[in-house]
Amino acid sequence: MGDIIDGKAFAATLRQTIAGEVNALKSERGVSPGLAVVLVGDDPASQVYVRNKGRQARETGIQSFEHRLDMDTPEAQVLDLIRDLNADPRVNGILVQLPLPSHMDAEKVLQTIDPLKDVDGFHPVNVGRLTVGADAMAPCTPLGCMMLLTDRLGDLSGLEAVIVGRSNIVGKPMATLLLRENCTVTVAHSRTRDLPAVCRRADILVAAVGRPNMIQGDWIKPGATVIDVGINRIEGEGGKTRLVGDLDFASVQPVAGAITPVPGGVGPMTIACLLHNTLIAARRQLAMLPPR
Ligand code: GUN
């Protein structure tokens, strides 16, 4: 029976470390890092995420600036807001919650964020820097997965890693980070032939497709470390909604060496890594880290 990787506990410890470092920054330099979160529209899942980001930032001693805009806000107004936040010295990190309403060009919005304040790591400059192996802000969810993997496995060199999903938010940056750690990386997706056979090669399997309970126990190499990035709301017994991942947990856990649960696995790590990136951004802007 595979061990359960407790992302909730790991994230709590990470937040404590960050809180200590934020405190040190306050006493040494008299400043608190600031994180601005921009939410456009009223998507219920995004509202929950944004609320949690703000609360956990404050609990860590990071100032939270929340900007909630109506669904039909013109794109130009969002771009103006981002330019103001770029120029605001109290704001060290800027996050625009995705997805944006369909009348907006998400690429254009993300490219307006100052790369030094891009705590999501979605700006093409940061994507490029990460890809060529330069110092860059790494996207929060893949960064959280890497922390859990290295904590569990130590050196990842030479391991076979399979990622299911090729999104810009998780799949592609996850591949970059695993390659940096010398894994042999396969990115599988909806057109992959014989997906179960590809998954069975994996010492490390990362599921990031957004399809409830898709990946089955007989797709797993015995002893593999399995990371579930999926957060799917499904209707459970009695009409109540509940969260499930992309893995069929009941059949995967007996075969895996270790597995992240949903909830309580990768999810809490994403926000902790956002706070981590905000602290790094603040230090760089205060010239406490070398310029890039
Ligand atoms: N929507 C889903 N995941 C994310 C994320 O990591 N960052 C942002 N900005 N939006 C998201």
Mutate to test the pocket of ligand 1, among 120, 127, 167 (most ligand atoms within 8 A of CB): 120
With a cut of 90, say whether residue 254 has pLDDT above it: yes
Amino acid at 215: I
CA gap 49, 17 in Å, rounded = 22
Distances (CA, A) of 100 to 53, 73, 74, 123: 17, 11, 12, 15
Read off the pLDDT of each residue in 36-58 and give the average, rounded to a whole number: 96
Q: Is residue 119 over pLDDT 90? A: yes
Mean pLDDT of the chain: 97
**Is residue 236's pLDDT more than 90?**
no
Same fold, 32-116 and 140-268: yes
Q: Which residues pair with 20 in a beta bridge?
A: none
CB 123 within 8 A of CB 113: yes
Using a 6 Å CB cutoff, which residues line ligand 1? Answer: 95-98, 120, 140-141, 169, 270
Tell the residue nearest (CA) to atom 8 of ligand 1: 97
Which one of the listed residues 118, 120, 203, 248 is annotated catalytic?
120
**Which is the closest atom of ligand 1 to the Cα of 141?**
6
99 CA distance to ligand 1 middle (Å)? 8
Does the active-site annotation cover 97? yes
Coil, strand or helix at 285: helix
Q: In this structure, are residues 5 and 152 in contact, taking their beta carbons and an 8 Å threshold?
A: yes
Question: Considering only CA atoms, which residue is closest to atom 9 of ligand 1?
Answer: 97
Rounded Cα gap, residues 275 and 270, in angstroms: 9
Q: Is the pLDDT of residue 292 over 90?
A: no
State in words which class domain 140-268 has. Answer: alpha beta
Q: What is the mean pLDDT of residues 64-68?
A: 98
pLDDT at 289: 83
Predicted confidence (pLDDT) per residue in 158-197, tens digit: 999 999 999 999 999 999 999 999 999 999 999 999 999 9
Output the CA 186–ligand 1 centroid distance in Å.
23
Q: List the domain boundaries for the chain.
A: 32-116, 140-268
Round to the nearest angstrom and report the end-to-end CA distance of the chain: 45
The residue nearest atom 11 of ligand 1, judged by CA position, is 98
Q: Residue 291 has what pLDDT? A: 78
CATH number of 32-116: 3.40.50.10860
Rounded (to 5) percent helix, strand, coil in the chain: 45, 15, 40
